[in-house]
Chain A
């Protein structure tokens, strides 16, 4: 036996940290109960329903499109920002308004710690309400409206961080300027900031404005969540910026002499610097952002795994013996698309280069709000030839909106026939005439074609085709009716018996596509 073994056991003193944690939890519970934040939540709920949910109702039933307004353009947090900033300013100004700052300065807990408890309660209410409201909205989207694709979770994180940042900023305003006017001043400032950034988010497509959480340019387009994952690079930078700003505001609260001891103030200074570093780093990183086909990538934050396409088993239908296959997210349009393409495919069946399959392909990100700013590009390529449809680029999909189905039907036929006859360039007069005749037999009368060529979002060739078909008969009232040499040739060609037309096309299609034929050479 040794002396060590004989020594009496020494008990560790009770941990002070446990008591402090318990006290902090109690303080937080009290602050949660007395917080003014819940009082404004009913107003935000009404506004949220009216602005964020109701105004996004007309978009196609895909997560990325239905949430473009409320997540991509940040309306959800915009509906929160002024109110949580104002309410937090009211909470933060409590000690000053009640002239109790001296009392709490002399309390056991440092003033900064007590302020943090009040701030945490306000932030928990605000962020919690944001997550609940968004959760309810997403629940309605998922279970009642059956949206396809995947939800934009990273944008939810950005919104929650933004709500926390505005809460913190408002709290700091109230703490430093304790007055009844602190709340409206904070709300007004938040309001001005979000409204101005919301409007300017429409304009700036590169550089630092991309960090604005209301800026949807180049980072929220229909290919995401269906063909590729949402790229988290930009949302991460935004979370860094907003989180950093919130941390700065928290740290600044602990800097004044009355906030606590010297060590505590030094800690507050470190917190402030950390926030500045996070926000500054995000601002620098966003300047290195570049546009990729999958969205905005920031090299330092980019994970190559996010560039991999989302796997899927296509759903197919038959149209004139040709399989038409789509991403299962677009299943609801399959019958409509097959019906649109059936007469077109029947017209060109057996001709050289006629597609033996129709497949949906992914669009590509563009720098603005929408994919492919130059218009929808339908292609026929490969051996054997496949008609490739980037449906996510289409300006209009069939929906409850009046006229949308008719427009989509016309667009589908027009794009497919033009690609088959003239490729993606402006057609020659002969190509325009053959295109018009084929469309006539595919169910689009000559009289309807000028209007179809005016559909918004078509490539530039549509304007030239329209000019060829109407030859100056357009006016402010509309595109006018078909007339002129192209129309005459088209009528002549369309009047041929089907077998004759088919045989002529089989013999002359190569020459027609290469632009060697003139109108006079058409039968």
Chain B
């Protein structure tokens, strides 16, 4: 048994000279970051949720109840998409990554925005299966707002528990819809062109993006997250 070959790079690895190039290094960094956040799996789940929405609208799956109930399944799917985005902020490296990752805030920002865009694309494509209550505008507003709640929850409880935000928000919303409240903070209850609801959802999304960009998910820094 010899040590021959121990120092050779694994197949597919970037050579040292190539890696010195800034563009290649940046791309490699981005790729590794996305892999560490399980973004490919997140994208697959978002596509699956889009397909689920398509099926729900195409075959008119529905539940009993009035107009609010008609939007129940689409909104639940949007909640699921927001939960997936929030969970993708979970990082496995903690302190070492924070200490050495100069580009980390930008990577977090780019990943969160890109995943939100991808989620919107997947769900908008899924909405082609039938008539989505509220249309694409309401979809964008609701998804952005719920994603904001998820990112805020990720910053507060940890990336792995980011799904708590959208779930809690939607459960509270479901009660409020039944009680016919009309506050703009419950944006799914408002019409798609409602300015107040759009502003509230945008504020929550911006707050979530800012929290995840600047602080990161709770478990990626000094503050320990639950096991």
CB of A51 within 8 A of CB of B171, answer yes
Q: Which residues of A contact B157 (CB under 8 A)?
A: 39-40, 43
Binds A, one of B20-28, B105-113, B129-137, B162-170: B162-170
- B73 to chain A minimum Cβ distance, whole angstroms, is 8
For residue A180, CB closer than 8 A to chain B, the reply is: yes
Q: Which residues of B contact A47 (CB under 8 A)?
A: 168, 171-172
For residue B143, CB closer than 8 A to chain A, the reply is: no
Contact of B38 among A46, A55, A180, A188 (CB under 8 A): A180
Report the separation of the CA atoms of residues A203 and B73 in the bound assembly, to the nearest whole angstrom.
17
CB of B167 within 8 A of CB of A83, answer yes
**Contact flags (1/0) for A169-207 with B, using CB distance below 8 Å?**
000000000011101110110011001100110110000
- In the complex, what residue of chain B is closest to A58 when comparing beta carbons? B179
Q: Which residues of A contact B227 (CB under 8 A)?
A: 34, 36, 94
Report the separation of the CA atoms of residues A202 and B65 in the bound assembly, to the nearest whole angstrom.
8
Contact of A90 among B38, B73, B160 (CB under 8 A): B160
Given A47-B172, A195-B76, A199-B72, verify A39-B160 contact (CB < 8 Å).
no
For residue A50, CB closer than 8 A to chain B, the reply is: yes
For residue A79, CB closer than 8 A to chain B, the reply is: yes
- B44 to chain A minimum Cβ distance, whole angstroms, is 9
Q: Which residues of A contact B12 (CB under 8 A)?
A: none
CB of B41 within 8 A of CB of A179, answer yes
CB of A39 within 8 A of CB of B41, answer no
- How big is the A interface, by class? 35 or more
- How big is the B interface, by class? 35 or more
Central interface residue in B76, B157, B161, by most chain A CB within 10 Å: B161
CB of B63 within 8 A of CB of A181, answer no
Given A51-B172, A199-B65, verify A86-B167 contact (CB < 8 Å).
yes
Report the separation of the CA atoms of residues A40 and B38 in the bound assembly, to the nearest whole angstrom.
23
CB of B79 within 8 A of CB of A181, answer no
- In the complex, what residue of chain A is closest to B159 when comparing beta carbons? A180
Report the separation of the CA atoms of residues A232 and B3 in the bound assembly, to the nearest whole angstrom.
74
Q: Which residues of B contact A183 (CB under 8 A)?
A: 87, 160-161, 163
Q: Which residues of A contact B90 (CB under 8 A)?
A: 180
Given A36-B227, A40-B164, A94-B227, verify A184-B80 contact (CB < 8 Å).
yes
Report the separation of the CA atoms of residues A51 and B178 in the bound assembly, to the nearest whole angstrom.
11
Q: Which residues of A contact B65 (CB under 8 A)?
A: 199, 202
Report the separation of the CA atoms of residues A43 and B171 in the bound assembly, to the nearest whole angstrom.
12
Report the separation of the CA atoms of residues A39 and B72 in the bound assembly, to the nearest whole angstrom.
28
- B190 to chain A minimum Cβ distance, whole angstroms, is 19
CB of A184 within 8 A of CB of B83, answer yes
Known: A82-B171, A202-B64. 10 other contacts (CB 8 A): A179-B38, A180-B38, A180-B90, A184-B83, A184-B87, A185-B45, A188-B80, A188-B167, A191-B170, A196-B72
Q: List 13 A-B contacts (CB under 8 A).
A: A36-B161, A40-B161, A43-B157, A47-B171, A83-B168, A86-B163, A87-B161, A181-B38, A183-B161, A195-B72, A196-B73, A200-B64, A202-B65
* Across the A-B interface, the 10 shortest Cβ-Cβ residue pairs: A199-B63, A184-B163, A203-B64, A184-B83, A36-B226, A39-B226, A188-B80, A51-B175, A82-B167, A184-B87
